[in-house]
Structure 1
Amino acid sequence: MTSYRVTVPASTANLGPGFDALGMALGLHDVVEVTAIDHGLKIEVVDAGAGGVADVPTDESHLVARAIRRACAHWDVRPPGLHLRCRNAIPHARGLGSSAAAVVSGVAAGYALAGRPLDADALQLAAEFEGHADNAAASLLGGLVIAWSEHGRFRAERLEPHPGIRPVLAIPELRSSTDATRGLLPGAVPHADAAFTAGRAALAVHALTARPDLLLAATEDRLHQHYRAPALPESVALVDALRDNGIAAAVSGAGPTVLALTVDGRLPERADTRGFSLAELAIDLGGVKVEVR
């Protein structure tokens, strides 16, 4: 039977001030091989790096399987059975979009099984799983994305990031829960902080696409990061230390990974990165890729 290989990139979201709105795809990939079989569900999960497999289910609750089922149902296609082989390289619960990547890979596989090209509904199906589209849009489209919702629909526009930006990720062993860190955010913020962050988010789009020399100012945030500091003290401390040394740094998504947007792929030696693994990752420009096997 026909098999498909789906390759999907990790992502970093928010990029400082762009809370739930800005995302960027990264050159770290999960690979899912999907085959329609006669009956049942068989899932193999392989750890290809720091992805972690101990806590990954291998039944219908697996995110990739759920997303395949959702995409197939969208096209009124019901494969009798599925065999999935998931090669995880994106670290789980670290703020690198592992859940969104799993959902996007499943949606893309479901479209392939239905014989359909990816379209705007693919983003809608993927984003519905998390309730926001920044990570999903980045994994789906690649590059830099602006995501929003309008009349109950998730939408995104892809932009070309400046080629001189070289992201460096500081990834701790500590895991973080998006739900837990969102729970630390207040129901309201001062008007001055909202206005400040709106201006910085607009500047971030310009800096990320055309003026990387403005990234330090453009990645300032008063909307979410320091409210999350009690859950991510080491990460926020590293962000502050890097920024004090002139590096445009932010918490990646819900953390605890720290994103540094550099022009040379290096962090200053005086920044204390003990407890973090450093990885320079390219910006993935292609997004999810589906190949017939």
Structure 2
Amino acid sequence: MKFTLLNGEIIPRSEAKVDVEDRGYQFGDGVYEVIRVYNGKLFTANEHLSRFVKSADSIGISIPYTTEQLKETLEKLIEKNKLQLGTIYMQITRGTAPRNHAFPTVKVTPTLVAYTNEVRRPEESFHTGVKAILTEDIRWLRCDIKSLNLLGNLLAKQKAVEAGCYEAIQHRGQDVTEGSSSNIYIVKNGAVMTHESNHLILKGITKDVILDVCSDNDIPFEEKTFSLDDLETADEVFLSSTTSEVMPVIEISGNKVNNGTPGEVTRKIQELFQQEIEKQCGKLAD
């Protein structure tokens, strides 16, 4: 039996229900987080929960729990579901109210949901790399909020899937922003570059870990907007996300990157990132 967190209570998933007038269901009026679990332990939990609170604050939702209470409850949910390797998905919506575009005029209790999934690490792709396509970024202008409104991301991801690719790299005009569910990086002359954390991209937690390990190991790293031309002439390209970790990109819209093989800098960052996981969660299985 699997268990779910619903408004502070851990209950059997089959018993977890929300009202059809929940604003998350009708408007996407809420925010979410996905946190990786290794060896039964949350990875970068504090950073994810801080972003969760910040996203909720950005749309005027007050979370009725402290981050420490949330963390303790998520740890109980992991234990209850006997999860060793996977993810926790969590979301909060503004709550249930009669359908109206404006916020409810009476006090409404937010709806908090969380559940676990078993998700393996994509280890084969770590070694071989993945393919991507390019697509115009058609999303709204507050991509820094981890909103439930993901239709633009879904359409981009579906284009990638239909093209037999792992990811869609989005761009606004000539400026590369991010993937449909990842941050995008280029490597040129040994230096790493990725889009600055502003309203056009989601500030990735994995991205922050990568920035830290690069800084600690003298790998030049710059947060700066780069162009499609920069992407095309890059020595290496990789992406990062909670579930993809550090993933080499070896082909973009049919054009090979680094002769179709993962690059040396990307390999090094993969190694450093895994070391960071093991510092927090213990040694990973071979």
Fold equivalence (TM over 0.5): no
The TM-score, its normalising length taken from structure 1, stands at 0.28
Q: Could you tell me the TM-score, scaled by structure 2's length?
A: 0.28
